[in-house]
């Protein structure tokens, strides 16, 4: 794992970030929370989205999916915020991310259909296949998502996180939720790695996705 390219993911819970220092410490990519549900927008998304690019960090935006809300409306909200606040999704940005952590009262079939609806709408809008963020043990989805890029969360001290059922490999791995990173002051931050070793590898992967 020590050879994998490193990154972080952030939201308003990390209100003080010097992105130049983050980049200087060897972190090459970052995900920033954009939206949640049908109405919530992260207050720092716009500024962080611009600052990440200015610092030379490969940037990604994620949506926190709420199973209690309408998936099409959630997708429309995410796309609107990314376009209106973030200036859209560029070809060298990471794929849009759907963060799925809750199943609510939905069955596996119901949640899977809802997440597919979100992904289909976002893919139609941006022309990019979304990535899914899941914990290793999340069992709320069926096996129909294996063609979607995977960002998996698993904090165990293991050489490989493994993947949820339906996938054969992962693209990004959230390895820790209480990391300390130069440039992120006053709070901890999530640490991630990309399943390759160099920035050129990441840029090539983004071009394919």
Cα 77 from Cα 138, distance rounded (Å) = 25
Note the pTM of the prediction, 2 decimals: 0.96
What mean pLDDT is predicted for residues 196-202? 97
When pLDDT is cut at 50, 70 and 90, the band that residue 206 belongs to is very high
> What phi and psi, each to the nearest 5 degrees, are found at residue 23?
-65, -40
Is residue 69 part of the annotated active site? The answer reads: no
Percentage of the chain surpassing pLDDT 70?
100
Q: β-strand 189-194 against 172-179: which pairing, if any? A: antiparallel
Is residue 197 part of the annotated active site? The answer reads: no
Full DSSP string of 134-186:
EETT---S-STTTTS-EEEE--SS-S-----TT-S--SEEEEEEEE--TTB-S
When pLDDT is cut at 50, 70 and 90, the band that residue 155 belongs to is very high
If you average pLDDT over every residue of the chain, what do you get? 96
What mean pLDDT is predicted for residues 59-87? 98
Contact (Cβ atoms closer than 8 angstroms) between residue 181 and residue 22:
yes
pLDDT at residue number 192 = 98
Indicate the range of 65-74, 140-149, 157-166, 185-194 predicted with least confidence: 157-166
Q: What is the pLDDT of residues 94-133, one digit of tens each?
A: 999 999 999 999 999 999 999 999 999 999 999 999 999 9
Q: What is the pLDDT of residues 27-56, one digit of tens each?
A: 999 999 999 999 999 999 999 999 999 999
Q: Please pick, among 18, 73, 101, 110, the residue that the annotation labels catalytic.
A: 101
Cα 159 from Cα 150, distance rounded (Å) = 17
Contact (Cβ atoms closer than 8 angstroms) between residue 56 and residue 22:
no
Contact (Cβ atoms closer than 8 angstroms) between residue 22 and residue 55:
yes
Per-residue CA distances from 28 to 3, 9, 170 (Å): 13, 11, 18
Whether the per-residue pLDDT at 86 is higher than 90: the answer is yes
pLDDT at residue number 1 = 62
What mean pLDDT is predicted for residues 18-33? 98
């Amino acid at each position: 794992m020590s050879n994998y390219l490193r990154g972080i993911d952030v939201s308003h819970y990390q209100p003080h970030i010097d992105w130049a220092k983050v980049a200087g410490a060897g972190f090459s990519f970052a995900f920033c929370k954009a939206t949640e549900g049908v109405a919530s927008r992260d207050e720092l998304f716009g500024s962080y989205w611009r600052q990440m690019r200015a610092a030379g960090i490969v940037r990604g935006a994620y949506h926190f999916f709420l199973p209690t809300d309408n998936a099409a409306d959630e997708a429309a909200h995410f796309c609107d915020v990314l376009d209106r606040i973030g200036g859209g999704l560029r070809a060298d940005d990471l794929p849009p991310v759907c963060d799925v952590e809750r199943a609510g009262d939905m069955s596996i079939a119901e949640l899977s259909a809802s997440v597919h609806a979100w992904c289909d709408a976002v893919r139609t809008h941006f022309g990019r296949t979304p990535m899914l963020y899941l914990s290793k043990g999340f069992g709320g989805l069926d096996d129909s998502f294996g063609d979607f890029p995977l960002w998996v969360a698993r904090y165990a001290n293991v050489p490989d996180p493994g993947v949820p059922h339906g996938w054969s490999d992962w693209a990004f791995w959230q390895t820790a939720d209480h990391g300390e990173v130069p440039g992120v002051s006053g709070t901890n931050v999530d640490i991630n790695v990309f399943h390759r070793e160099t920035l050129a590898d990441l840029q090539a992967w983004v071009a394919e996705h």
